Amino acid sequence: MLNRQQKGTVYFGVDDDGTVKGIEIGKRTLLDIRSRAAELIEPRIILSIDDLKDENGLTFIRVCAEGSDIPYSCDGRYYIRTASADERIGSDLLRKMLISGNTDMLMQITSENQELSFNGLILFLKSKDVHASPTNTFFTSFGLYNKNGFFNLLAYLLSDQNEMIIKVMRFAGNDKTVVDERMSFQNQSLILTVQNVLEYFKQIDLPRKVDLSTGIRSETVLFDFQSFREAWINACIHNTWTEKIPPAIYLYDDRIEIVSYGGLPYGLSEEGFYAGTSKPVNHRLFNIFITCDFSEQSGHGIPQIVKTYGKEAFSFRDGMLIVTIPFGYEPDHVKARRMQKSIHETLTTNQRAVLGYLTDHPYASLQETADACELSLGGVKKIVAKLREMAIIERKGAKNNPIWVIH
């Protein structure tokens, strides 16, 4: 019951249907129950034990307990209450429960690198008018030491030496077949990476689609930046960093996907998730994000996304949480690529041959191109002139070392 709802009540002398049958209570009965619970249950819990009587004078015992230090074990085994039965907990669920308990795993795991500096974090905090300096007091107050006094995994994530790679990948199309651009953020504090990614997507969101067809100017944003911001920050706060798999962002022609690992925190239903119930997986990291002005405790982030894009923006699969933010219109670079593809499809066989050779040999002369394609020099000149007119190729660079640029 504690593993399911962090509280539970057990009655002795009462049937399953609630009928009091009565029980004989000796001098040591209540003490024996308390002792037996202390012997079997780990971590230790504090019980509230009462001997009661119903209106007929029948005596029964009520045992109540509360605790959030999940998972709790009974005689070395882990169970969870489902309806009226007890089920053994599997390893996957047990791992999630461990992460979701009061023990902050980021604070307990020792960093493999103990030569850490925090210049980036400290400068960022100072920009937010937070006094910070590389002292033991600062490290302790921010939870950067584990119980043995070593820098922990939280410290590593916030340090200048953080090597976990967060990727922002752009694909040419609506799937992952063709990579158009790849950006990686590493060797800096997670706090700086969060900020850098936000700045990058602010630039993507700058263009607006302007409509004057009705005589009244209207603008359509490519995507709701506030929703993206909430999704990205949540992905970093609630990611299962103990697995050493960072969140990632994927851009397609028609949408953005923000992926984090770990899924829903244990004990949080989808209904509670959509309602904005705050149940941070990494408690101290969550507090630091609040200090850095990235997050707040109001829990409005998820409802903000739901209000803008609906619950269908979220999907839970294979231990991942994916937030999908669709674009409000077709981006200019996508439209240009689509038009170029359409133009390429109209090329003749000889035009394709010349374009293919110049793509593979950008420094080739027209004579070299003619020889390789088995065409006349005059014919290649006409083809190149046509390709330049169609804005498929252009000549760049110094006169003595020009290069063909393919669009």
In the prediction, which pLDDT does 170 show? 92
Q: How far apart are CA 171 and CA 248, in angstroms?
A: 13
Task: Quick: pLDDT tens for 300-331.
Answer: 788 889 999 999 999 988 788 999 999 988 88
DSSP-derived secondary structure letter, 230: H
**What is the chain's length?**
407
In the prediction, which pLDDT does 330 show? 85
Residues of the chain with pLDDT under 50: none
Q: How far apart are CA 329 and CA 169, in angstroms?
A: 20
Q: Which two tokens stand for residue 93?
A: 């669920």
Q: How far apart are CA 314 and CA 324, in angstroms?
A: 6
382 three-state secondary structure: helix
Helices 225-238, 190-204: crossing angle, 10 deg rounding: 160
Q: How far apart are CA 41 and CA 78, in angstroms?
A: 10
Q: Do 210 and 164 contact (CB within 8 A), yes or no? A: no
| Intra-chain end-to-end CA distance of the chain, in Å | 63
In the prediction, which pLDDT does 72 show? 83
CA angle 95, 99, 101 (to 5 degrees): 115
Catalogue the long-range contacts made by 88-97 (C-beta closer than 8 Å, 24 or more residues apart).
89/3, 93/266, 96/262, 96/263, 96/265, 96/266, 97/3, 97/70, 97/71, 97/266
Q: Do 164 and 244 contact (CB within 8 A), yes or no? A: yes
Backbone dihedral angles phi then psi of residue 368, each to the nearest 5 degrees: -60, -40
Q: What domains can be seen in the chain, in order of their start residue?
A: 2-89 (no CATH), 105-158 (no CATH), 166-326 (3.30.565.60), 347-406 (1.10.10.10)
Of 40, 41, 58, 47, the closest CA to residue 3 belongs to 41
In the prediction, which pLDDT does 259 show? 95
